[in-house]
């Protein structure tokens, strides 16, 4: 089972609405290499795990549980980027006119200016993305490649917009994906692979990515929480020096403290939540 904790994984500063940036960010949510995919892939690998190599299962489960919170973080960011992007003020004359040229018109027509389980080209997330061969070396190899690709795409996103909300989440995920690259690289190292200088992917210079640098200064790129309230074998594998030579790994129990989750306001032009006075009174009297 799983339980929710009412905190967001990272702090989310507010900036101007930007529906094009919101749409780009959908790749990190519902794209083939986005957070829904890592979440579901690792959950399935955990549920279907075979044999007694429990620390490897625990390691996968830790990341799986963390990824649910990443789906939350990126969805919340998309919502923040979309919210308030519509108005009937010039150059628009109609409340939702902006939708006709939006990154994805569905954000306005279908989803009430909220996140959707689709990628940045509008393709719905598909169960066919989930990889779980059952062969442990192969699954770890795939997971490593998946994290590298996720991080590669987020580094490209970083170069598409400097909107502060967008950048905060993208930078956080660049750092966490780097930590996850290490989780899987380390697991394969424990089975004999020597990566030499081939990792991480992509090769970045965080001195040119200040938002990333700030998070790495906290050693966030070397930490992995268990995201569990029980004992885990994570630390048996995720220990010692970073396989990429950039610090010391830290396996930590539980989860980080987190930040308040921003609450989205009503959007009357979307009829969301769409209560008239009668219903609002009913709702209030209930509570």
Hey, which residues between 167 and 196 contact a copy of itself (CB under 8 A)? 188, 190-196
> Looking at 12, 103, 181, 220, which residue binds a copy of itself (CB under 8 A)?
103
Confirm or reject binding of residue 87 to a copy of itself (CB under 8 A): no
Cα torsion angle, 62, 65, 70, 76, sign: negative
Nearest Cα neighbor of 34 from 82, 84, 88, 73 is 73
Based on CB atoms, which residue is closest to a copy of itself, 94 or 214? 94
Confirm or reject binding of residue 164 to a copy of itself (CB under 8 A): no
Tokens of 175: 């750092």
Q: Of 107-115, 170-178, 212-220, 243-251, which part binds a copy of itself (CB under 8 A)?
A: 107-115
Q: How far apart are CA 184 and CA 177, in angstroms?
A: 11
> Looking at 115, 168, 170, 173, which residue binds a copy of itself (CB under 8 A)?
115
Q: How far apart are CA 48 and CA 66, in angstroms?
A: 18
Residues within window 196-255 making contact with a copy of itself, judged by CB under 8 A: 196-199, 201-204, 227-230, 233, 236-237, 254-255
In whole angstroms, how close is the CB of 214 to a copy of itself at the nearest point?
19
Residues within window 34-53 making contact with a copy of itself, judged by CB under 8 A: 36, 40, 43-44, 47-53
∠128-130-132 over CA atoms, to 5°? Answer: 125
Could you tell me which residues are beta bridge partners of residue 124? Answer: 118
Tokens of 199: 């990792």
In whole angstroms, how close is the CB of 218 to a copy of itself at the nearest point?
17
Tally the C-alpha atoms within 13 A of residue 187's C-alpha that lie toward its C-beta.
26
> Looking at 3, 89, 91, 245, which residue binds a copy of itself (CB under 8 A)?
3
Confirm or reject binding of residue 59 to a copy of itself (CB under 8 A): no
Tally the C-alpha atoms within 13 A of residue 277's C-alpha that lie toward its C-beta.
0
């Amino acid at each position: 089972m799983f339980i929710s904790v009412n905190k967001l994984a990272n702090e989310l500063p507010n900036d101007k609405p930007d529906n094009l940036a919101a749409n780009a960010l959908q790749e990190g949510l519902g794209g083939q290499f986005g957070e829904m995919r890592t979440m579901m892939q690792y959950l399935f690998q955990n549920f279907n795990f075979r044999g007694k190599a429990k620390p490897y299962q625990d390691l996968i489960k830790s990341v799986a549980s963390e990824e649910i919170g990443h789906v939350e973080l990126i969805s919340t960011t998309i919502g923040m980027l979309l919210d308030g992007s519509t108005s009937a003020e010039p150059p628009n004359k109609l409340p939702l006119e902006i939708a006709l040229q939006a990154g994805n018109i569905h954000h306005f027509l279908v989803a009430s200016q909220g996140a959707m389980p689709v990628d940045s080209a509008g393709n719905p997330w598909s169960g066919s993305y989930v990889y779980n061969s059952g062969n442990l070396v192969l699954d770890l190899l795939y997971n490593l490649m998946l994290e590298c690709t996720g991080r590669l795409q987020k580094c490209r996103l970083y170069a598409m917009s400097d909107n502060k909300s967008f950048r905060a989440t993208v930078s956080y995920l660049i750092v966490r994906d780097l930590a996850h690259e290490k989780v899987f690289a380390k697991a394969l190292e424990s089975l004999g692979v020597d990566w030499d200088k081939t990792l991480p992917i992509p090769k970045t210079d965080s001195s040119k990515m200040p938002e990333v640098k700030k998070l790495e200064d906290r050693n966030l790129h070397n930490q992995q929480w268990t995201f569990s309230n029980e004992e885990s074998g994570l630390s048996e594998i995720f220990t010692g020096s970073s396989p990429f030579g950039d610090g010391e790994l830290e396996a930590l129990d539980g989860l980080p403290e987190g930040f308040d989750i921003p609450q989205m306001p009503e959007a009357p032009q979307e009829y969301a939540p769409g209560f008239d006075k009668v219903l609002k009174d009913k709702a209030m009297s209930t509570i």
